């Protein structure tokens, strides 16, 4: 992911990657995504649900 990591002493309200993420949408700014298990032994912390068959981001 291009760009610089956030200032750890001034983290944004929502997702810490919001300034660098090309898929950012309104919820990313308002709410920090929770870490959740998506498969046994695999977790993610992102509001995106995934991508449709055309490759378009599906917002969660």
Interface residues with ligand SF4 (CB under 6 A)? 15, 17-18, 21, 23-24, 28, 33, 46-48
CA distance 60 to 46: 9
Comparison of 9 and 22: residue with beta carbon closer to ligand SF4: 22
In order of 3, 4, 37, 51, the CA distances from 42 in angstroms are 26, 25, 6, 18
- Which letter does DSSP use for residue 30 in this model? H
Shortest distance (Å) from residue 22 CB to ligand SF4:
8
Comparison of 54 and 59: residue with beta carbon closer to ligand SF4: 59
């Amino acid at each position: 992911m291009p760009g610089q990591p956030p200032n750890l002493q001034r983290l944004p309200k929502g997702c810490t990657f919001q300034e660098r993420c090309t898929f950012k949408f309104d919820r990313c700014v308002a709410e920090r995504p929770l870490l959740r298990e998506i498969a046994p032994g695999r977790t993610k912390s992102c509001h995106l649900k995934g991508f449709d068959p055309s490759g378009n981001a599906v917002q969660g």
